[in-house]
Amino acid sequence: MPKALYVPYTLHHGLLTVSGQLPLRNGKPVFVGTVPDAVAVDAAQEAARLCLANLLGWVARLWRATSNVSAAWSGWVAMSRQNPGSMMPPL
């Protein structure tokens, strides 16, 4: 039973919105924690790739239903408060 009402995406007038995409593999979260304390920068980059792959899976699923889909995305990385000056390289 779901713990909350969750809709993985919305499609409104051809604009796809995906919210709350996490780095999941086989339905389980991976790369949990803040960068760079609990998750290394290299691992965070892999987590970003995994999030994008999962997001593209939703796009592909909708593409089969309609060819009129536009999408834009941005990402957020949980950075450590202990290292506020640390910078993430481009993912």
Q: Is the pTM of this model over 0.85?
A: no
Angle of CA points 24, 34, 90, to nearest 5°: 80
What pLDDT does 67 receive? 67
Q: Is the peptide bond before 36 cis (omega within 30 degrees of 0)?
A: yes
Side chain identity at 26, as an amino acid letter?
Answer: N
Distances (CA, A) of 71 to 4, 13, 53, 55: 25, 12, 14, 10
What pLDDT does 91 receive? 46
What pLDDT does 58 receive? 78
What pLDDT does 65 receive? 72
Tell me which H or E stretch contains 64.
helix 41-65
What pLDDT does 46 receive? 93
Q: How far apart are the first and last CA of the chain?
A: 35
Q: How does pLDDT run across 8-45, given as a tens digit for each residue?
A: 778 888 787 877 788 889 989 899 988 888 899 899 89
Residue 16: closest CA among 50, 79, 65, 89: 65
| Residue 1 predicted with pLDDT over 60 | no
| Residue 86 predicted with pLDDT over 60 | no
